[in-house]
Each structure stands twice: as structure tokens, then as C-alpha cells.
Amino acid sequence: MQLHAAKNINMFELSEETSLGLTVATATFVGCRALYSALTAFGSDGAVPVDSSSAKSKGKGEKGEKTKTNLRNRKATDAAATKVMEGGSAGADARAAGDAEFQPKKSRAPVTAARKAIAWVCLLHAYVVGTVSSLFVYWNYHLISDAATMFDCPVNPQLWEGGRTLAVAATGVSVGYMLHDLIAMLENRLFEDAPLYSVHMHHVICIFCFGLTIVESPSKACAIAVCLVCEINTATLHTRRSLIWLGFHPSSWPCALSDFCTMVTMLPTRQILHWTVSYNLYIARATISTFDFWVMVVGMIGLNAIDLLLVVDIIRGRIKRNKSYDA
């Protein structure tokens, strides 16, 4: 009876790497939530609460001003139309300008303090995880060409010597951050403004696959660390938006440098490394359990498709100079 109880206890014992990964994930989640709350409160300091009576009177005043503005715009449009009927080309330009005031604009979520806080936390995560993962790949560059070692990374107890512990820690940081980001976007209803692939599928796939790796197969964390090098591209991508929020013009040299770094790091980190991991997964399929293999296959297919769409979206946005990258 005692032996049976001891076996049941051992079933729930966590390895040191799993404990480390879960601890890092929990600490990261708590830290991200605290930083997000602090940044949101700091960005909302200028907001002054009003009571219901003042809000009503203010609403009536704003409504009256809006009505007057619309009447002035309509008068300008009518005057422009009259000039067009008289044959004036300047009248055509005026009418076009007047009509533009009444065209429906594309609905986008306002840039609130909470939205900026989400972006700042995302930027911090991208720089931290991207740097740690890049150091891991630098110290273990042989993993890229050795499929067997990539999915069964040897244990190195020294955290800063580039061993498996560092990969588990980087994976834990990403799990904690993405769980926070998912909750923060739900709280602020930012899913209505974001593409389906960029938030829904990406976060769900990463939380599931990364979390399962920490709990079930810490030896596979090395392959995840190689994939997480893509956060370097995420960091440069969001740096440009952050610089614009800080007052830099979109055509200034810091924004142009960030743009250049985004385009340079896009293909190596988001495509070449990810497809290399996918190829090594196929080569090492005989050494991986069936369950782990298919979980990784589904995860890599999803992430590769998402990254491909993101690359297309980045290039299209840069070509068209889409304002969504400036706000």
C-alpha cells in the first residue's frame, strides 16, 4: 500500500527543468500584468472623471457643435457644387474635399493608454526573448545542422552557458507573456481590430505547444528557442511604432533604421530558421514519440503559415505605407 502511494506521488513530481519553466512563466505573467497596469494608469493620468449631469450637458454641447460643423460643411459642399455647375475646376476640388468629410472611415480601435501599455510590454518581451534566444543559438549553432540534437538537447546545468536550461527559461517567459497578452486583448476588445491570424491562432498555438513542452518534454525546448529568434524581428517591427508615439516623424532616420532592420531580419528569423526546424523535425521523426511529433507538426504548420502571412502583411504595409504601422 505504501509502495503504491509512493508511485502515485512520483507521478506528480516535476523535474527541475519543468519547475523552472513553470516558475519563470508564472513570474513573467505576474510581472507583465503589473507592468501593464502601471503603464495604463500612468498613461491615463490626464483623464478627469465627470459626473452624469455634467456628462449630459457636455454631450448636448458637443452634439450642437457637431451639428453646426456639419451645416458648415454642407454649405461649403453646396457652394462647391454650384461652382462646378458653372464650370470651375477649383469648384471640383472643393466639392471633393467637402464630400470627403462625409465618407465613412475604416473602423479601428482608438490608441488608448491600455493599447499603448500592451504594445510597450510586447516590445519589452520581444527584446528580452529575442536576445536570449539569439545567444542560445550562438552558443549552440550546431543544433541547426544536427536534427537529433535539436530535439534532444543535452542538459547543461549552467544557465548562462547556453545549455537546455536557458532554452526552457526562454520558453517559460514566452508562455507567461502570451497568456498576459491574450487576457489584455480580451479586456480591451482589441480582437475586433486585429487580424485573426496575428492574435487568435498565434497565441493559442504558442501557449499550448510551449506549455506542453515545459511540462512534458523539456528536451524539445531547444527547438523552440531556435524559433523564438523571430522575436528580434518583432522588436524592430514594434520599435518604429513606439518611436512615432514618442514624437518621431515616420520619415525620420530612427524610424527608417527600424524599418530597414525589420526588412533585413524578416526572412532569416521568420522563415529560414522556422523552416529549418520543420525540416529537422521530419529528419528526426524516428527518434520522437508519435504524440510529440504530431503536436510539433501541427504547431509548426500553424506558425509557418502565420509567419508567411505576417511577412506578406509587412511587405504590403511598407509598400503602401499603411497608416496602421504608424499608429
- Percent of the chain's residues with pLDDT above 90: 19
> What is the residue type of 147?
A
**Euclidean distance between CA atoms 232 and 319, whole angstroms:** 22
Residue 244 has pLDDT above 80, yes or no: yes
Identify which of 266, 122, 272 has the alpha carbon closest to the alpha carbon of residue 194: 122
- pLDDT one-digit tens code per residue, 40-78: 998 765 443 334 444 444 444 444 555 555 555 555 545
pLDDT-based confidence at 83, cuts 50/70/90? Answer: very low
Q: C-alpha grid cell for residue 97?
A: 474635399
Residue 174 has what pLDDT? 95
pTM of the full structure: 0.72
Residue 165 has what pLDDT? 82
Q: Residue 31 class from Cβ within 10 Å (0-12 exposed, 13-18 middle, 19+ buried)? A: middle
Average pLDDT, the chain: 74
Task: Give the pLDDT mean for 86-100.
Answer: 38
Domain boundaries, the chain: 15-45+109-325, 52-100
**Euclidean distance between CA atoms 290 and 211, whole angstroms:** 18
- pLDDT one-digit tens code per residue, 109-122: 567 888 889 889 99
- pLDDT one-digit tens code per residue, 7-38: 444 445 678 888 989 999 999 999 999 999 99
Integer CA distances (angstroms), 137 to 25, 133, 253, in order:
21, 6, 30
Cα angle value 244/253/40 (rounded, 5°): 20
